[in-house]
Chain A
């Protein structure tokens, strides 16, 4: 019955409220565990905290240095693009969010974020981890949203080999450390270690974000196609902090 009403706006409204409800229930369930974590943090020794501050300062300095170069490279790039008469890249806005929980469904790779419509989240926005793309927003409540990770076996995204510019579709494999590219001609120039970046085709993901690195290229003799496996650049099951990218038409549609 409910399949028929799957796209009914009323069901969607219920689902939107439900996302917030589920997130709230989850926060209730994990509150004791969270409190335990916080206690551990509070009891962390002063010296180890100082060490960490030092380490982070160092890291910050290195990153600042690198970003200085980035700025000059960006302007240089913009000049080249101007020379080539192509459209100028607009920097993407980012929303920082936190992963609060994981869907209990073992067949899916869905996580819950603590940002929702109220924070400017729109369905379809790409989500970045520390080292690359990790997924996209599929449904959002008012204060929370659900993100399907790129390794979910119902997910596929257009990528491009950074070295050669070769375009392909990277599908999720259902295992957290693996993407699959099928139906590449066996003679294709793709090697272990190649970086896959988003190609920007289809308009869902902005171009140029790192996605995965090729780990295995399988060409069976006599087969017309190669199967390529790649490991996501970001460790999808580690780390809690992610960035939601606001870009392109999605954002304009959402603006009142």
Chain B
């Protein structure tokens, strides 16, 4: 049986909303602990619908993120794309994990993607994240379960396949 595409827009709207959370004003010193909802939402959709959301979506998401941050275009794409690739190779296993284990996977993916972004930034002489960015990753990790819950509700409600 061939699955028909359905309600794909939910994916892009949820990614858009995640991008909007980047725009919420925070005091300068607190930006570092902002949970990375963009990556979390992207990873959720890759995990849930690997045949719909993949490296190309990751690329687009990274571009949007760079536009919002005012960073050189494409600098955060590669990290997200690689993390997505890792997920695509192992989504069957990661789906079996419980919430905590998945959170740890998300932490690892986040460190991977921002590590790669850090390399690229060093390559073009841009400032990289300080070590306190680990706090932000920890926050993102804590936000994995709520994000997964919300996205799952969305997916079931709109029957996204």
Contact = CB atoms under 8 A, between A and B. Distances in A.
Q: Size band of the B side of the interface?
A: 20 to 34
Interface in B28-87: 28-29, 31-32, 34, 63, 67-75, 77
Contacts of A5: 73
Nearest to B73: A2
A168 to B, nearest CB: 21
A106 B31 contact: yes
Nearest to B66: A2
- Provide the main secondary structure of the chain B interface: loop
Interface string B127-155: 11110010010000000000000000000
Q: Size band of the A side of the interface?
A: 35 or more
Contacts of B23: 22, 25-26, 29-30, 101, 104
Interface stretch (A52-60, A107-115, A205-213): A107-115
Interface string B7-35: 00000000000001011111111011010
Contacts of B71: 105, 108
Interface in A22-41: 22, 25-26, 28-30, 33
Contact of B74 (A2, A21, A28, A236): A2
A18 interface: yes
26 contacts: A3-B72, A6-B72, A6-B73, A18-B67, A22-B23, A22-B67, A22-B68, A26-B23, A30-B23, A101-B23, A102-B26, A102-B28, A104-B22, A104-B68, A105-B31, A105-B71, A106-B32, A106-B136, A107-B129, A138-B70, A152-B127, A154-B126, A174-B130, A176-B28, A176-B29, A237-B28
Interface of B: 20, 22-29, 31-32, 34, 63, 67-75, 77, 121, 124-130, 133, 136
